[in-house]
Structure 1
């Protein structure tokens, strides 16, 4: 019998074209440790580096997604100004370059505090169980959210809604998260993983280069405005129209069958 590491682990499993990334420290409500941040970044790097993988699915073991950071283990790093994530690996929060090009779907449940909210906001599609309890509670601990909440909450929900959450640290529900555009679907508890998997499978069934180009163009629009995004569409389309996947897309349409995309 393998002994579980006291600092938890991140499970990684390939399922078809999807990379399952599991937060695994349920005995501590999946409290994040430096080891887990390191392994999470490596899992996202694997997602980016694997040509046969088209989409990621982030989930958690146990009854809760995470109670947040394991502060006694994290504080020493933060006091010294050291990063939580290793240099050279992909940033799961998608805040530093190189930015992630492949989509991630996240399945949330139960207690989903701090880092869970920021991973949710960094994902392309979020599915929340109806028993989710969210909180960005850093101000209650004398610190601030540092992995994207101060940026993305304002983008998604507007200044006032974001400040109400960020400045009080109060909890909010799955329905609140849906209303504020933080999650895309709310499902009965216990169904969140399966629904997230269904969405990931639908994404993974599409042409991966087209999916990545769509994400990249939308990101330009969000950061630099629609005119800059539009300016890049023609060159992106020229590349896509000359791929094997585009030829397969046309051929599958003619033959009235499901396309078989390979990412080339």
Structure 2
């Protein structure tokens, strides 16, 4: 009998003109492995390139959206993550982006990359159980998936820095106030509501909807490009520190980090 832990995966199904992309790693609160991130990129690319698909819903199985990245597999000494293919859609919207509607659905734990991918989508529907936290700086690093500029574009400087500096947890009501999510519904109704919105979108002319999103992207691309270009510098800065090593080790040992500021 195999004793291997279940391996997470990301799947895609279609419902008429709608692509439903589902993250499945419930045993680890839907934490992302590098392989899962590659699968998500593949499915988003498949959606983008299929003219018969007019809207997509990105969701997660079970009670939680995601606890974030499986950190040691991305940043530890045995990391297996590799650079993503620039020809494929980037789930964080930092490289190639989908030009068609993308609805994110969140519930329960929605940490770090879960927030960043939600903010890279166009519309977000949250269950009332959703709780959010951008906690990278509690691990000795910093956000690399767009939080440093998408918090600003969604909610303004003061609100953005409040949550980015505190690395605090906030609930669905606060996410709605900030503009991070567009609707909050009772748990159990969140997926149905997202599908309802996708079907309403699909009643409209897909070429017109796509042209609208492309035009909107052109408006924000210049500012986003400058913020994206500084991500390598952020990585170089934080990964060169003792605090980064302490942060990763504290995650592995499941304890609070003891940072020294060096």
| TM-aligned CA deviation for residue 87 of structure 1 | 3.7
| RMSD of equivalent CA atoms | 2.1
**2:209 aligned residue:** 211
Q: Partner residue of 1:125?
A: 123
Answer yes or no: is the 8 Å Cα contact 2:175–2:181 preserved in 1.
Answer: yes
Q: Residue in 2 aligned with 1:93?
A: 92
**Whole-angstrom CA distance in 2 between matches of 1:169 and 1:59:** 24
Q: How does 1:94-113 map to 2 (within 5 A)?
A: 94-97=93-96, 99-113=97-111
CA contact (8 A) 1:32 1:66 kept: yes
Which residue does 2:255 correspond to in 1?
Answer: none
Q: Which residue of 1 aligns with 2:164?
A: 166
Give the equivalent residue in structure 2 for 1:63.
63
Q: Size of the alignment, in residue pairs?
A: 221
Cα deviations across residues 37-66 of structure 1 (Å, max 9, x unaligned)? 000000000001111100110001011010
Deviation, structure 1 residue 222: 3.0
The 1:78/1:219 distance shift into structure 2, 3 A limit, reads farther
1:221 corresponds to which residue?
219
For 2:133, the equivalent position in structure 1 comes to 135
SS in 1 for 2:7: coil
Q: Which structure has the larger Rg over C-alpha atoms?
A: 1
Q: Is the 8 A contact 1:7 1:35 kept in 2?
A: no
**Is the CA contact 1:30–1:64 (under 8 Å) kept in the aligned structure 2?**
yes
Q: Which residue of 1 aligns with 2:256?
A: none
The TM-score with structure 1 as length reference comes to 0.79
Gaps of 5+ in 1: 226-264
SS at match of 1:20: strand
Q: Does the CA contact (< 8 Å) of 1:7 and 1:36 recur in 2?
A: no
Does residue 51 (structure 1) correspond to residue 51 (structure 2)? The answer is yes
**Structure 2 runs not aligned, ≥5 long:** 224-262
Please say if 1:23 is aligned against 2:27. no
176 and 43 in structure 1: CA distance in 2 versus 1, 3 angstrom threshold: same
Q: Return the alpha-carbon distance in structure 2 between the equivalents of residues 112 and 128 of structure 1.
A: 10
Contact map agreement 1:114 1:145 (CA 8 A) in 2: yes
CA distance in 1, matches of 2:166, 2:194: 30
* Cα distance in 2 between the residues matched to 1:120 and 1:152: 10
